[in-house]
Amino acid sequence: MSLILTRDTERFQVPERLPVLPLRDVVLFPYVVMPLIIGRSQSLAAVDAAANDGNVVLLVAQRNADQQDPAAADLFRIGVVARLMQVVRLPNGTTKILVEGIARARVTRYATSAGTLRATIAPEPFVDESEPADQSALGRRVLSLFEEYVSLHRRIPAEVVTLVQATASEERQACAVAAHLAVRHDVRQTLLEASTLPALLSQLAQLLAAEIEILRLERKIEDDVRGSLFQNQREFYLQEQLKAIHRELGQEDDDFGDLEAAIEKKGLPDVVKARAHRELRKLRRMSPLSPEATVARNFVDWVLALPWTERTDDALDVAKARVILDEDHYGLVEVKERILDYIAVLSLVGKLEGPILCLVGPPGVGKTSLGRSVARALGRRFARMSLGGVRDEAEIRGHRRTYIGSMPGRVIQAMRRAEVVNPVVLLDEIDKLGQDYRGDPASALLEVLDPEQNRNFSDHYLEVDYDLSHVLFITTANSLSTIPEPLRDRMEIIRLPGYLDLEKQAIARQFLIPKQLRQNGIDPASVTFDQATVSDIIHRYTREAGVRDLERRIARIGRKLARRRAEPSVPAAGAAEPNERPAAEPSTAAPAKRSRAKKPAETSAAEVVAHPTEATTGIQTVASDDLRALLGVAPYDPADMSLEDKVGVATGLAYTSVGGETLEIEVAVVRGRGKVQLTGTLGDVMKESASAALSYARSRAAALGIDRDFHRSRDLHVHIPDGATPKDGPSAGIAIATAVISALTGRPVRGNTAMTGEITLRGRVLPIGGLKEKSVAAHRNGIAHVIIPFGNARELEELPDEVRAAVQFHPVRTMDEVMALVIPGVAATAPDIPITAPNVSVSPPITH
Ligand code: ADP
């Protein structure tokens, strides 16, 4: 018996009873071609039997896949009639077959005959009873869901979608989709058993939607898993790289360990230690190349480099301190005494309270080296910190740790250099502190110097307090006037007025020459400097209150001599090294009276070495004649400062930040209309004092025998040469007035006399500052008489003996007295103004 099965438009005639091929975990659908491997005897028998039945079998799924020899009850009732397209027997005893599903069939009966399970079947077509429009809508939905399903499903090739879409019949499409759905086989069986095509389609749609949902979820979970996996791997990878970088940089992993140990070992205050550990922890977590790591690392390094508890023991022996101070510096008796007082108090009280020492004086008078000496005398470390040009508070207190370059301020930097908590710190040039919008460094400095506050000094960078209370601060300044008032209040001022000639000579001989020779590897005992040589270096090669330039010149001589000794064949050409200042005289000019027959230009260091004395004593002498070769042309000529009487020229005395100076004030009178011209870089106060001088001249015109109306018919030109430093202050008043009167009267002013004093409109002479420095300068310049305000007379006692012995001082109260002293012959009638003070002693007239 046979029956007709239809598939689309195809019709198949098949036997009614067919051998049954049971399927495990697989459901075949009509239209679908599928390879199967079979090995069970039951299946092989079925295939064999089919060969006699037109190669048609019934494929039915087992209810339970584990069943090895399923009986009728173990099989579903709906299966698919299939054609055996290919049967290949494999060497391992199994058979590979290729089957094509023809149509659904229902088993009406199972029966076993001759060892083969056979089924009697009835056709079970998909009944189509819905509206075609609904069905095709459903079909399209299934297709689009299938497309999405395939796109999400990794194991279904994308072409399947194209193939399925290309299929004309919806039944065929549905079967293809069902066949590709990766679902459990019992689910697949229910699909196979769907009563109608729309039922199958809607079941498919539902299944697809659910599967898509699951796939999406899976995808997400998978992505998440992969993401987190990737993240972990990434971190692991980076950590490995980091270690490699550390190794490359020579910072093995245990670098952090070392830092940690160092933090523990260093006697840090608790707060600081906690802070350092915190930064280290941060550092461990960071890439060493990140900017933050650099910042954190710097911080830890700073904390470790700074002294927190390390200190030196003080040597508080005043007698020894005296020896050390004397060893380092010539003279400076008063200064040394004050320093010794300080050390004495320190040794008694045991702590540093009271005012901070402030050494005030022109450059090169030994302020810095005194500071160093104090440290040596106390057995302390020394650190210097320059304040010149500091305008920003952050320079004192540091920058916040926000950027890579930030650093602690100069105070903490000095402490780092000192390496102990109790050094001597020299705050240099405290008078050069600036101030601007970035905050006031002076107030930060106040905190540094205040013993009440400096125990908890806060630096912006460190953020933790630093104790400065064990530090001995010493400050230096060139002039007092620019030191901020609150700072000055806290300081004990010690003045170093500048050196006199003899002092300079002694310093050069006893300190600078031996020091410089030694520094250049020359035994000081093997060289002597003539008296005249030292004096010439001082007068012709330097013009200063201190000895800095002098030391520089001597250093240069030392270098030249050393070079000569090292390379005897090479003449050390003194002139080859250019002068530090423009030569004041033509290079061919003979230097001075002292020059010998030998022409200086021809003198070389070679000749210096071969100086006659050397041959006999082995001691080399540096003579004044040799200076030209060693130092080049002398920039100054002492004869420049002429001491002759001149008309319209008066010698004033100035006191600037670089010490005392003489000041040649010139006045020229020309026909004109009363214009007064002032030249030279004059400060406002000096200009005022020039006009006061003029007013005085006019008011005393009659008495002085000058034309009362000179200011209408003449032009006056007052010139004050600026020299190296700008000058200001009223103390040139009497000198300006003198020069004006001399110019108007045509009478000369005594050239050997210098003067200083402020002048009022009515000709009174008021006291001035810096008498000591001015006197020293006058003496240095060979001035024999100095006119000073009466109000300064009592300071004369404080002047160095040498100056008092060489210079005659004339205290005056009025300008008339000045006239009488320096412009002899000018009618010095009774002054217009009554002099109230008793015992006016009019000084004896000045003679040459
Ligand atoms: P300042 O700080 O006042 O500008 P320095 O301390 O730098 O001056 O001194 C300049 C040089 O002169 C240093 O080498 C210093 O040793 C030397 N010096 C200054 N005064 C004396 C002195 N009285 N005795 C010995 N050397 C001195």
548: CA distance to ligand 1 center in Å? 7
Q: What global pTM score does this model have? A: 0.58
The pick from 360, 365, 515 for probing ligand 1's pocket by mutation, whose C-beta has the most ligand atoms within 8 angstroms, reads 365
Smallest CA-to-CA distance from 476 within 431, 425, 409 is with 431
Which pLDDT value is given to residue 641?
60
- The predicted pLDDT at position 628 comes to 87
Distance from C-alpha of 632 to C-alpha of 626, rounded to nearest angstrom? 10
Task: Kindly indicate the confidence band of residue 431, based on its pLDDT and cuts at 50, 70 and 90.
Answer: confident
Where would I find the H helices in 637-757?
Answer: 684-699, 701-704, 710-713, 733-745
Inter-residue contact 306 to 416 (CB < 8 Å): yes
State the average pLDDT over residues 425-430.
92
How many of the other CB atoms lie within 10 Å of CB of 640?
11
pLDDT value of position 827: 56
- At residue 74, what is the residue type? D
- pLDDT more than 70, % of the chain: 85
Q: Mention every residue, 6+ apart, whose C-beta is less than 8 A from residue 659.
A: 361, 362, 363, 365, 497, 498, 544, 545, 546, 773, 776, 777
CA of 551 to the centre of ligand 1 (A): 9
DSSP assigned state of 525:
G
Q: What is the DSSP string of 636-662?
A: --GGGS--S-EETEEEEEEEETTEEEE
Classify strands 649-656 and 659-671 as parallel, antiparallel or unpaired: antiparallel
Q: Identify whether the C-beta of residue 17 lies closer than 8 Å to the C-beta of residue 1.
A: yes
575 burial via Cβ count (<10 Å: 0-12, 13-18, 19+): middle
- 474-493: pLDDT as tens digits: 999 988 877 888 888 888 88
- Mean pLDDT for the stretch of residues 773-795: 89
Residue 717 pLDDT:
85
What value does the mean pLDDT take over residues 131-157? 84
**What are the two backbone dihedrals, phi and then psi, of residue 285, each rounded to the nearest 5 degrees?**
-85, -10
Record the tokens describing residue 459, joined without a space: 């630096």
Is it the case that residue 144 has pLDDT exceeding 80? yes
Q: What SS3 state is found at 573?
A: coil
Output the CA torsion sign for 710, 711, 713, 719.
positive
DSSP letter at 258?
H
Pocket residue to mutate for ligand 1, from 548, 549, 657, 776, most atoms within 8 A of Cβ = 548
Question: pLDDT value at position 282?
Answer: 84
CB atoms within 10 A of CB 829: 12
Q: Which single residue is written with the structure tokens 């006045």?
A: 667
What backbone torsions phi and psi does residue 596 show, to the nearest 5 degrees? -90, -170
- Active-site residue, from 43, 657, 731, 742: 731
- Ligand 1 centre from 338 Cα, in Å? 18
Beta-carbon contacts of 534 under 8 Å, excluding residues fewer than 6 positions away, are 505, 508, 509, 513
User: Cβ < 6 Å from ligand 1: which residues?
Assistant: 329-332, 363-369, 476, 507, 511, 546-548, 551
pLDDT in tens, 582-637: 433 333 333 333 433 344 444 444 444 444 444 455 688 888 888 888 888 888 77
Residue 20, SS3 per DSSP: strand
Residue 196 pLDDT > 50, yes or no?
A: yes
What are the phi and psi torsion angles at 258 (to 5°)? -60, -45
- Write the pLDDT tens digit of every residue in 215-228: 888 888 877 777 77
Output the CA 765–ligand 1 centroid distance in Å: 36
Rounded to the nearest angstrom, the distance between the alpha carbon of 369 and the centre of ligand 1 is 6
pLDDT of residue 437: 62
Mean pLDDT, residues 278-285 taken together: 84
d(CA 16, CA 107): 10
Q: What is the pLDDT of residue 131?
A: 67
- Among 266-270, 535-539, 783-787, 830-834, which is the least confidently predicted range? 830-834
8 Å CB contact between 56 and 87: no
Least confident of 89-98, 634-643, 691-700: 634-643
Cα 631 to Cα 136, 553, 559, 575, 634: the distances in Å are 114, 7, 11, 7, 8
Find where tokens 């001995």 sit. Answer: 472
Which helix (DSSP H) or strand (DSSP E) does residue 787 occupy? strand 785-789
Contact of 551 with 534, CB cutoff 8 Å: no
Res. 570 pLDDT band, cuts 50 70 90:
low
- What is residue 532's predicted lDDT score, i.e. its pLDDT? 86
Contacts of 365 (CB under 8 A, 6+ apart): 496, 497, 498, 499, 545, 546, 547, 659
> Which position has the token pair 């008309």?
647
- Residue scoring higher pLDDT (497 or 547): 547
Model pLDDT, residue 326: 93
Q: Which of 556, 471, 569, 477 has its CA nearest to residue 520?
A: 556
pLDDT of residue 588: 38
Helix-then-strand count for the chain, H and E:
30, 28
> pLDDT at position 723, please?
58
28, two tokens = 């075949």
**Across 21-30, 331-340, 447-456, which has the greatest mean pLDDT?**
21-30
Residue 832 has pLDDT above 70, yes or no: no
- With tokens 């692991």, the residue in question is 236
In this prediction, residues 766-790 reach a mean pLDDT of: 88
> Which one of 478, 547, 551 would you pick to mutate in the ligand 1 pocket, going by the greatest count of ligand atoms within 8 A of its CB?
547
Euclidean distance between CA atoms 111 and 414, whole angstroms: 109
Helix (H) or strand (E) holding 247: helix 197-248
Q: What is the DSSP string of 49-60?
A: HHHHTTSEEEEE
Residue 787 has what pLDDT? 95
Mean pLDDT of 822-843: 49
Task: Report whether pLDDT(833) > 50.
Answer: no
User: Quick check: 233 pLDDT over 80?
Assistant: no
Give the count of beta carbons closer than 10 Å to the beta carbon of residue 256: 16
Ligand 1 closest atom vs CA 428: 2
In this model, does residue 47 exceed pLDDT 50? yes
As a three-state string, the secondary structure of 403-434 is: CCCCCCCHHHHHHHHHCCCCCEEEEECHHHCC
Residue recorded with tokens 């006199």: 500
Average pLDDT over residues 396-425: 88
Structure tokens at 19: 């051998």
Pocket test for ligand 1, best of 359, 367, 368, 369 (most atoms within 8 A of CB): 369
Residue 8 or 399, more confident: 399
The CA distance from 27 to 782, in Å, is 129
Is-catalytic flag, 731? yes
Counting Cα atoms < 13 Å in the Cβ hemisphere of 336 gives: 20
- Are β-strands 95-113 and 33-38 bridged in parallel, bridged antiparallel, or unpaired? antiparallel
Burial class (CB within 10 angstroms; exposed 0-12, middle 13-18, buried 19+) of 545: buried
Does the active-site annotation cover 220? Answer: no
**pLDDT-based confidence at 516, cuts 50/70/90?**
very high
pLDDT over 60 at 329, yes or no? yes
| Structure confidence at residue 331 (pLDDT) | 86
The pLDDT-based confidence of 433 (bands split at 50, 70, 90) is confident
Per-residue pLDDT tens for 161-195?
888 888 878 888 899 999 888 888 889 999 999 98
Of 105 and 802, more confident = 105
Residues in CB range of 760: below 8 A, 6 or more apart: 692, 696, 766
* pLDDT at position 11: 86
φ, ψ dihedrals at 196, nearest 5°? -125, 170
Burial 472-487 (b: 16+ CB within 10 A, else e): bbbbbbbbbeebbeeb
Going by CA atoms, what residue is nearest to atom 22 of ligand 1?
Answer: 329
pLDDT of residue 508: 93
Inter-residue contact 543 to 600 (CB < 8 Å): no
With contact defined as beta carbons under 8 Å apart, do 308 and 272 qualify? yes
d(CA 336, CA 379): 16
What is the rounded average pLDDT for all residues in the chain? 82
Give residue 506's Cα distance to chain centre: 45
Taking the CA of residue 496 as reference, the ligand 1 atom at the shortest distance is: 3
pLDDT at 642: 67
Q: Which residues sit opposite 127 in a β-bridge?
A: 196
Tokens of 419: 């390496």
Please provide the DSSP assignment of 438-465 as one string.
TB-HHHHHHHHH-TTTGGGEE-TTT-SE
- The yes-or-no verdict on residue 651 having pLDDT over 80 is yes
Furthest C-alpha separation in the chain: 171
Contact 751, 705 (CB under 8 A): no
Q: Looking at residue 130, what is its pLDDT?
A: 65
pLDDT band for position 715 (cuts 50, 70, 90):
confident
What CA–CA distance (Å, rounded) separates 190 from 198?
14
Whole-angstrom distance, CA of residue 246 vs CA of residue 253 = 7
Q: What contacts 679, CB < 8 A, 6 or more positions away?
A: 717, 718, 719, 720
pLDDT of residue 584: 39
Q: How far apart are CA 741 and CA 696, in angstroms?
A: 10
Predicted pLDDT of residue 746: 84
Instruction: Name which residue sits closest to atom 26 of ligand 1, judged by CA.
Output: 329
pLDDT at residue 77 tops 80: yes
**Mean pLDDT of the 788-808 span:** 89
Q: Give the ligand 1 atom nearest the CA of 332.
A: 23
CA–centroid distance for 30 within its chain: 83
How far, in Å, is the centroid of ligand 1 from the Cα of 118?
A: 126
CA dist., res. 195 & res. 328, Å (int): 119
Would you call 696 exposed, middle or buried from its count of C-beta atoms within 10 A (0-12, 13-18, 19+)? buried
- pLDDT for the residue 842: 41
Q: In ligand 1, which atom is closest to the CA atom of 363?
A: 4
Rounded Cα distance between 427 and 476, Å, is 6
Q: Which ligand 1 atom is nearest residue 362's CA? A: 3
CA 408 to chain centre: 9
Distance CA 28, CA 24 (A): 11
What's the average model confidence in pLDDT over 529-549?
87
Q: Which of 236-245, 712-721, 755-764 tops mean pLDDT?
A: 755-764
pLDDT band at 259, cuts 50/70/90?
confident
Q: Which whole number is the average pLDDT over 279-303?
A: 82
